[in-house]
Amino acid sequence: MPIAIGLEGSANKLGVVQILANLRHTFNSPPGTGFLPKDTAAHHRRWVVRLVKQAMKQAKVRLEDIDCICYTKGPGMGAPLGSVAIAARTLSQLWDKPLIGVNHCVGHIEMGRAITGADNPVVLYVSGGNTQVIAYSAQRYRIFGEALDIAVGNCLDRFARVLNIPNDPAPGYNIEQLAKKGSVLLELPYAVKGMDVSFSGILARVEEMAKKLEASLTSSDGPWRDDETGAEVTTADLCFTLQETVFAMLVEITERAMAHVGANQVLIVGGVGCNERLQQMMGMMAAERNGSVYATDERFCIDNGIMIAHAGLLAHKMGFRTELEESTFTQRFRTDEVLINWRD
């Protein structure tokens, strides 16, 4: 069985993997703040060597057992990607192993397909940096719709900063837990434009609501109440409202893609794909179409090295190599740029 080292570092999670080992370390910034590229890159540089050593020790793999070094070429944040590219290039030269640059999005998709067994699904890829509806055709992953401005994960993360919600284990996860306690559904913009979606206006509106709620807590007029129901509005209600609105938009464009290509399977990948409410809403839609939904848990839907190693090995088996002079990174690496010649 071929063995690869996979280095993932497109954002704040540094992942290193081999067969039987899937190690990850996350850079978490203080509540109310985001992670800066330079700080994230420094985190990756500090941790990459020890994670590689730990992975090899845990997997009981020797240097001569390794077939190739795979790394995230993009898309992602420039400085963290650069740190990982340098690490991968260094290992490739030190150990005289082939280098494989991997598209981050393709890594998510192939990992999801491998873990769930989904045959030929429409893919909803949702993360901090990406929101895309994808289907496979003629050796490419074709993008049917995407976010026109910010990704859905970025929308959730930025709202978590407004609420001063901790970033550990993840801001989106903490919003999800608060949303489970919410019950008042407020009105937010619903921005579906054909097959594309927009989240910046929704974020601006819910941020205004958060400021209104904060002001009401110190006001002598009492708590803020919903105009329609008269119910008292809480922070949990704002999280609930945001989730319900943006997830409904994602379900709509996914269903439209399924109808277009005649698919009855949906595969949800990316960090936001761990969200149980998103899975539930997508499941309700799919059930009405006599279809099914596939998703993975946080071990595989959150950025990790195993997805980069897996996708890299698929390309490696087809003879793909990244030459040293091409072992760069790019913040904008489109999903549909990659030749998927390991599929029919």
pLDDT in tens, 55-78: 888 888 888 999 999 999 999 888
Domain of 214, in residue numbers: 120-300
What would the mean pLDDT of 320-337 be, rounded to a whole number?
94
125 assigned ligand-binding residue: yes
| Cβ neighbours for 40, distance < 8 A, ≥ 6 positions apart | 11, 12, 27, 77, 79, 80
Question: Could you tell me which residue, 74 or 297, shows the higher pLDDT?
Answer: 74
Is there a cis peptide before residue 171, judged by omega within 30 degrees of 0?
no
Q: What is the pLDDT of residue 7?
A: 92
In a domain, 114, yes or no: no
**Average model confidence (pLDDT) for the chain?**
90
Q: What is the pLDDT of residue 1?
A: 76
On whether both 292 and 313 belong to a single domain, the answer is no
pLDDT at 92 over 90: yes
On whether both 171 and 193 belong to a single domain, the answer is yes
* CATH for 192: 3.30.420.40
Q: Is 76 left (phi over 0), alpha (psi -120 to 50) or beta?
A: left
34 assigned ligand-binding residue: no
Q: How far apart are CA 187 and CA 197, in angstroms?
A: 17
The token duo for 290 is 């006599």
- Taking only the tens place, the pLDDT of each residue in 193-204 is 999 999 999 999
On whether both 330 and 262 belong to a single domain, the answer is no
Q: What is the pLDDT of residue 169?
A: 85
Q: What is the pLDDT of residue 54?
A: 85
Confidence band of 10 (pLDDT split at 50, 70, 90): confident
336 assigned ligand-binding residue: no
Question: Could you tell me which residue, 250 or 24, shows the higher pLDDT?
Answer: 250
Looking only at the bridges linking them, the beta strands covering 131-137 and 196-197 are unpaired
In a domain, 342, yes or no: no
Per the CB < 8 A criterion, the answer to whether 49 and 37 are in contact is: no
Confidence band of 23 (pLDDT split at 50, 70, 90): low
Q: What is the CA radius of gyration of the chain?
A: 21
344 assigned ligand-binding residue: no
On whether both 276 and 249 belong to a single domain, the answer is yes
pLDDT at 18 over 60: no
Q: What is the pLDDT of residue 300?
A: 84
227 assigned ligand-binding residue: no
Beta bridge partners of 146: 132
172 assigned ligand-binding residue: yes
pLDDT at 87 over 90: yes
Question: Could you tell me which residue, 20 or 342, shows the higher pLDDT?
Answer: 342
The percentage of residues in the chain with a pLDDT greater than 70, rounded to a whole number, is: 92
DSSP states of 93-128 as a string?
HHHT--EEEEEHHHHHHHHHHHHH--SS-EEEEE-S
On whether both 242 and 283 belong to a single domain, the answer is yes
Q: How far apart are CA 278 and CA 251, in angstroms?
A: 8
Q: What is the pLDDT of residue 19?
A: 47
108 assigned ligand-binding residue: yes
Confidence band of 12 (pLDDT split at 50, 70, 90): low
128 assigned ligand-binding residue: yes
- Taking only the tens place, the pLDDT of each residue in 217-230 is 887 777 888 887 78
Q: What is the pLDDT of residue 27?
A: 46
Question: Could you tell me which residue, 298 or 239, shows the higher pLDDT?
Answer: 239
- Tally of domains within the chain: 2
316 assigned ligand-binding residue: no
pLDDT at 9 over 90: no
On whether both 282 and 256 belong to a single domain, the answer is yes
On whether both 246 and 307 belong to a single domain, the answer is no
74 assigned ligand-binding residue: no
